[in-house]
Amino acid sequence: MLLADEINRAPPKTQAALLEAMEEKQVTIEGITHKLPAPFVVLATQNPIEQEGTYPLPEAQMDRFLMKMSMGYPDRPQEKAILARRKLRGKDNHDVEQITTPKKLVAMQKALETVHVDPAILSYIVEIVQRTREDHRVTNGASPRASQSLFKTGRAAAAIAGRNYVIPDDIKDIALQIISHRINMKPEAKIRGITGMHIVRKILSEVPVPVIQPA
């Protein structure tokens, strides 16, 4: 696992080097290719407030991130709970315990292949992604990676819920996080404050939800 803290502070050359690792699961150093261990996952953070000394992530790199989430600020009860846990812990540092192994993670990933995806769900995914490319406010809609990501995370959501089949809500519940960051808006839309999240919300409200039978 690679954690890139405040990744938008990395210069473009460093960000470009991540593309090979994220897509090909390998790195090339002085002409020699090194395979990365499985599973290989990149987690990254960005500071949306501080812009000085930062670089925008290339579109190709953004597309390779499975999802993007905004944490925001904790509310009052959450922030109080943070302080309570810090008081109970008696120190700033956290003691992190191992809860699984790389071998088990790979096994879980392979197990998702047994989760059934109805053809109607496939059509639902495709329709959502296709409509991002047809909106007149969008320069570039979501790529085919968005469809694949919805497919995979939909299966994961079903498995977490204890089902061996995907339902439309598995797709709807994660679509914003999976698709929004892959959409590039036209300048006039940006000026009006329209974002990829607005586009995806509108699409989800318009695309008919399929009715499927459990596998």
CATH number at residue 139: 1.10.8.80
The structure tokens listed for 20 are 């090979």
Asked which of 37, 64, 91 is the last residue of a domain, the reply is 64
State the first-to-last Cα distance of the chain, in angstroms, to the nearest integer: 34
Please say if the pLDDT value at position 181 is more than 80.
Answer: yes
| Range of the structural domain that residue 181 is part of | 102-206
pLDDT tens column, 33-76: 889 888 888 888 887 766 777 787 888 888 999 999 988 889 99
For 67, what's the count of Cα atoms within 13 Å in the CB-facing half-sphere? 16
- For all residues of the chain together, what is the average pLDDT? 90
Please say if the pLDDT value at position 16 is more than 80.
Answer: no
Whether 49 is covered by a domain: the verdict is: yes
Could you give the percent of the chain with pLDDT greater than 70?
97
Asked which of 35, 64, 93 is the last residue of a domain, the reply is 64
- Of the pLDDT bands very low, low, confident and very high (cuts 50, 70, 90), residue 186 is very high
Q: What is the mean pLDDT of residues 106-122?
A: 94
Task: Return the closest-CA partner of residue 179 out of 214, 130, 212, 136.
Answer: 130
The structure tokens listed for 69 are 């989430």
Distance CA 212, CA 214 (A): 7
Spell out the residues 6+ positions from residue 43 whose beta carbon is closer than 8 angstroms to its own: 1, 2, 3, 4
Q: Are 155 and 215 in contact (CB under 8 A)?
A: no
pLDDT tens column, 169-180: 999 999 999 999
What's the pTM?
Answer: 0.85
Whether 72 is covered by a domain: the verdict is: no
